[in-house]
Amino acid sequence: MEIRASKGLQGQITPASDKSISHRSVMMGAIAKGVTLVDNFLMGEDCLSTIDCFRKMGTEISISGDQVKVRGNGLHGLKKPQELLYTGNSGTTTRLLCGLLAPQRFQSVLDGDASIRKRPMNRVIEPLIKMGAKISGINGGYTPITIEGTQLHGIEYPLPVASAQLKSALILAGLYADGKTLITEPKPSRNHTELMINGFGGKVSTQENRILVEPTEELYSCDLTVPGDISSAAFFMVAALIVPNSEILIKNVGLNETRTGILDVLQAMGGQIEVTMYGNTIEPAGDILVKSSSLHGTEIGGSLIPRLIDELPVLAVAAAFAEGTTMIKDAEELKVKESNRIEAMAAELTKAGVSVTTTEDGMIIRGGCPIHGAEFESYQDHRIAMSMAVLALAAEGSSRIKDPQCIQISYPGFFETLKSVQR
Ligand code: S3P
């Protein structure tokens, strides 16, 4: 994909639907009683992997446009899959399914693509074993993972990492346990699972950093509309900020507070960003107006990290165009995403002329130097590919993004949307 320096980005867009919420809508719908209608579902490859896994467990799921209809068979209604459950590139599908499958009354096997096979699964396997699960991976905790469903017990578990996937796996397992499960988080991570389970009639309560899961007899279907993904909107926010003569209105973006760290950081960097909330819904949403701005460097760390973990690659691009130094710290989790995002971003930014130093838990970016186009690798990582596409819009000359098809994971239509705002 070739991208040239842009003269300005203008107009209105609606970003791809939220990936995290789309995954969870199918999972909850499948274990609830009744039909769940999900509007504005993300038809990205990751969420289609989730649909595929549940179809293999006997859940009837139909797709019409961007609407998904899930016919749930109740908490104990999943059936033993006749084949391996293939989770593709999706960490969310893989980890949440570990938690959901551990208490079922059947055996199952999970596996994914080459990237999934490198991602640590011990973080879910170990606490699930503490709950009584019969679950094992290979080579010390990688897929393929074999699960022999069994009765689980509630536990008290302090999460060693702030991970919503890990937390959600334990919450799902806790729904089936014979006692309460108490999870403590080191820092708050996205809470879509908690909100959705309560919407489906379950009982998950949160007090500060403690999440209490009560076992449930049944969940009940609940229609929902998925808001836009702030992680996808992020590419257009940064693009509008760094390309001169730009003004983009991004409509219907999910604004759950556990996800809005990017707004705090870009505003702290001097970005002109106005947010209009739509009103009080379970998953808040609103519009974001972004205008070209002179940015300055900042420090990103601590409890901000889980609130913007997926936006760090594109924030690194914003930092490259900001005056002064930006330091990203406490973000070692970036090493175990779809790619090692610290190494990947440092290598690609360096190709464009940016001065970057990697650290154990992040990177230091010295911004404000001339940035030029180049041939960029995607590392088969959707967020690296889109981040470098954004950089290319504001770099001198033209660039090429290699293997851009991985963008289908979370943002089918990314390039079409980009084209629609090009002036
Ligand atoms: C997600 C949680 C995050 C995030 C991922 C989606 C989720 O992962 O990076 O893209 O839907 O729960 P971790 O739980 O590994 O932090």
Q: Are residues 30 and 12 part of one domain?
A: no
Q: Are residues 35 and 182 part of one domain?
A: yes
The domain boundary, picked from 179, 206, 225, lies at 225
Residue 403 is labelled as binding a ligand: no
State in Å: Cα 402 to ligand 1 middle. 25
- What integer is the mean pLDDT of 60-81? 98
CA-to-CA distance for 339 and 166, rounded, in angstroms?
A: 18
Q: How many domains does the chain have?
A: 2
State in Å: Cα 409 to ligand 1 middle. 14
Is pLDDT at 156 greater than 90 in this prediction?
yes
At 279 the pLDDT is: 85
pLDDT digits (tens, 9 = 90+) for 210-243: 999 999 999 999 999 999 999 999 999 999 999 9
Mean pLDDT of the chain: 98
Q: Are residues 72 and 10 part of one domain?
A: no
pLDDT digits (tens, 9 = 90+) for 276-306: 999 878 899 999 999 999 999 999 999 999 9
Q: Give the distance from CA 162 to its chain's centroid.
A: 13
CA-to-CA distance for 242 and 401, rounded, in angstroms?
A: 19
Ligand 1 contact, 310 CB (< 6 A) = yes
The domain boundary, picked from 209, 225, 241, lies at 225
Q: Using the structure block, give the residue that is written with the tokens 């229609």.
A: 223
- Residue 336 phi/psi, 5° resolution? -115, 35
At 84 the pLDDT is: 98
Ligand 1 contact, 22 CB (< 6 A) = no
Q: Are residues 161 and 280 part of one domain?
A: no
Is pLDDT at 262 greater than 90 in this prediction?
yes
Ligand 1 contact, 164 CB (< 6 A) = yes
- What integer is the mean pLDDT of 389-399? 98
At 280 the pLDDT is: 79
Residues that are catalytic: 310
At 281 the pLDDT is: 85
Q: Which of 308, 309, 410 to mutate to test the pocket of ligand 1 (most atoms within 8 A of CB)?
A: 309
- Measured between alpha carbons, how far is residue 213 from residues 101, 159, 207, 229, 361 in Å? 17, 14, 12, 26, 32
Q: Are residues 387 and 285 part of one domain?
A: yes
State in Å: Cα 294 to ligand 1 middle. 31
At 312 the pLDDT is: 98
Q: State the closest ligand 1 atom to the C-alpha of 167, by its place in the atom list counted from 1.
A: 14
Ligand 1 contact, 20 CB (< 6 A) = yes
Question: Which of 226, 264, 254 lies closest to 29, judged by CA?
Answer: 226
In the chain, count of helices (H) and strands (E)? 13, 24
The domain boundary, picked from 184, 203, 225, lies at 225
3-class DSSP state of 24: helix
Q: Are residues 287 and 201 part of one domain?
A: no
Structure tokens that stand for 313 in this block: 């690659």
Contacts of 139 (CB under 8 A, 6+ apart): none
Q: Are residues 415 and 394 part of one domain?
A: yes
Q: Are residues 288 and 195 part of one domain?
A: no
Paired residues of 299 in beta bridges:
327
Protein residue with least CA distance to atom 16, ligand 1: 163
Ligand 1 contact, 165 CB (< 6 A) = yes
Contacts of 64 (CB under 8 A, 6+ apart): none
Say what percent of the chain tops pLDDT 70. Answer: 100
Ranges of beta strands (E only) in 278-323 are 285-291, 299-300
At 377 the pLDDT is: 98
Q: Are residues 256 and 110 part of one domain?
A: no
SS3 content of the chain, % helix, strand, coil (to 5): 35, 30, 35
Q: Are residues 249 and 128 part of one domain?
A: no
Is pLDDT at 64 greater than 90 in this prediction?
yes
3-class DSSP state of 272: strand
Q: State the closest ligand 1 atom to the C-alpha of 24, by its place in the atom list counted from 1.
A: 11
Ligand 1 contact, 21 CB (< 6 A) = no
Residue 205 is labelled as binding a ligand: no
State in Å: Cα 267 to ligand 1 middle. 24
Q: Hey, what amino acid is at 299?
A: E
| Tally of CB atoms within 10 A around 54 | 24
Q: How confident is the model at residue 310 (pLDDT cuts 50, 70, 90)?
A: very high
The number of residues making up the chain comes to: 423
Say what percent of the chain tops pLDDT 90. Answer: 99
pLDDT digits (tens, 9 = 90+) for 79-137: 999 999 999 999 999 999 999 999 999 999 999 999 999 999 999 999 999 999 999 99
At 388 the pLDDT is: 98
Residue 20 is labelled as binding a ligand: yes
Structure tokens that stand for 114 in this block: 């080459």
At 138 the pLDDT is: 97
Q: State the closest ligand 1 atom to the C-alpha of 162, by its place in the atom list counted from 1.
A: 16
Q: Are residues 286 and 409 part of one domain?
A: yes
> Domain of 29?
19-225
CATH of residue 267's domain is: 3.65.10.10
Q: State the closest ligand 1 atom to the C-alpha of 193, by its place in the atom list counted from 1.
A: 12
Q: Using the structure block, give the residue that is written with the tokens 């980009």.
A: 418
Burial label, 225 (beta-carbon count in 10 A; 0-12, 13-18, 19+)? middle
CA-to-CA distance for 71 and 286, rounded, in angstroms?
A: 30
Long-range CB pairs of 340-343, under 8 A, 24+ apart, other chains included: 341/312, 341/313, 341/381, 341/383, 341/384
Q: Are residues 104 and 53 part of one domain?
A: yes
Burial label, 59 (beta-carbon count in 10 A; 0-12, 13-18, 19+)? buried
State in Å: Cα 190 to ligand 1 middle. 8
- Measured between alpha carbons, how far is residue 183 from residues 129, 174, 319, 356 in Å? 15, 10, 35, 37
